[in-house]
Amino acid sequence: MPVKAILWDVDGVLAETERDGHRVAFNRAFEAHGLSWRWSVEHYGELLAVTGGRERLMHDMRNRADAPQVADERDKLARALHKAKNQFYAELVRTQGLPLREGVQSLLQACRKRGLRMAVTTTTSRSNLDALMHHHFGADWATGFDAVVCGEDVAQKKPDPDVYLQALKQLDLGPLETLAIEDSPGGVAAARAAHVPVVVTRSIYFANATLDGAVAIGPGLGQRQGWRPALPDPDAPGPVTLDDLIDWHQRMELTSQFG
Ligand code: XBP
């Protein structure tokens, strides 16, 4: 079955947004609220097991003696911190950039050139997605995608398949006519639960995570070395191409225990 659409995750796939973006913005929000909490690079890596910034905060507060003990108050604080974090995140993207990962731009261009449809399948907030995409592709970035599904659009965030099911519905495609690009165990689980084949580009935080069920897994779209299944010409310079993705999709050998 030919691939008719590429479904892009955002955080960790389009850009390394977590360590130098969301984490830093959370810390600025804590500071702005007069809280002494700071999330280290390592601690944030552990917290990424929880998808969703507000949900991540609620999870972390359960282990903090100085967090509000009354559920309503804790919820209110999490909402205020998350709102502030998103504003700091947008400011960070505007001022510092958060570059696209290598190989992303060329693959986006190849999809457009060949008329392959594309969707954004993320469970981050719409404002964060917009900040990143606006910065890299301009105010009308969304016109380059046939479907855009974000955190606000889903009943449950990843690893729930809702985000993928909604994208398939909007595209009016079956799962096997699409190919997702993901970086995290939760993202792979979401795609697989929707029967969407998935290619994994490992990101900083999930460099060593065990990821099952991908059609291919490798260190990033910017390089040809280190992929399983191996790419032809792995020593050639240049990124993973659209033809490589199409080839993996056609072969559809599910990897297992590529940890
Ligand atoms: C990424 C997330 C998000 C971001 C922060 O989702 O888990 O929570 O870390 O964004 P995905 P918000 O699995 O789609 O990459 O604060 O907007 O939640």
Same domain, 215 and 228: yes
Q: Among 43, 75, 95, identify where a domain stops.
A: 95
Same domain, 133 and 225: yes
- Specify burial of residue 203 (Cβ count, 10 A radius: 0-12, 13-18, 19+): buried
CA atoms within 13 A on the CB side of 223: 11
Our answer to whether residue 66 is catalytic in this structure is: no
Same domain, 125 and 221: yes
Asked if 104 and 133 count as a contact pair (C-beta separation under 8 A), the reply is: no
* Tens digit of each residue's pLDDT (9 = 90 or more) over 82-93: 999 999 999 999
**Which residues of the chain carry a pLDDT beneath 50?**
256-259
Same domain, 83 and 113: no
- Cα(124) to centroid(ligand 1), Å: 4
Same domain, 114 and 225: yes
Ligand 1 site-directed mutation target among 124, 163, 204, 211, most atoms within 8 Å of CB:
124
What pLDDT sits at residue 191? 98
- Cα(125) to centroid(ligand 1), Å: 7
- Residue list, ligand 1 pocket, CB within 6 Å: 9-11, 18, 22, 51-53, 122-125, 128, 151, 158, 184, 186-187
What pLDDT sits at residue 1? 80
Same domain, 80 and 105: no
DSSP code of residue 50: S
What pLDDT sits at residue 252? 80
Residue 134 CA to its chain's centroid (Å): 16
Total number of domains in the chain: 2
Residue type, 80: A
Residue 121 CA to its chain's centroid (Å): 8
Same domain, 31 and 113: no
What pLDDT sits at residue 212? 87
What pLDDT sits at residue 255? 54
Task: Name the residue range of residue 121's domain.
Answer: 5-16+99-255
What angle, 0 to 180 degrees and rounded to 10, lies between the N-to-C axes of helices 242-251 and 104-114?
80
What pLDDT sits at residue 258? 45
Tell me, what CATH number does 35's domain have?
Answer: 1.10.150.240
Same domain, 86 and 205: no
Tell me, what CATH number does 226's domain have?
Answer: 3.40.50.1000
Beta bridge partners of 5: 117, 178
Residue type, 192: R
- Cα(226) to centroid(ligand 1), Å: 27
What pLDDT sits at residue 76? 97
Our answer to whether residue 9 is catalytic in this structure is: yes
- Calpha distance 110→201 (Å, rounded): 18
Q: Among 95, 123, 153, identify where a domain stops.
A: 95
**Whole-model pTM?**
0.95
Same domain, 144 and 180: yes
- Calpha distance 134→126 (Å, rounded): 12
Same domain, 32 and 11: no
Same domain, 166 and 49: no
Active-site residue identified among 9, 60, 160, 162: 9
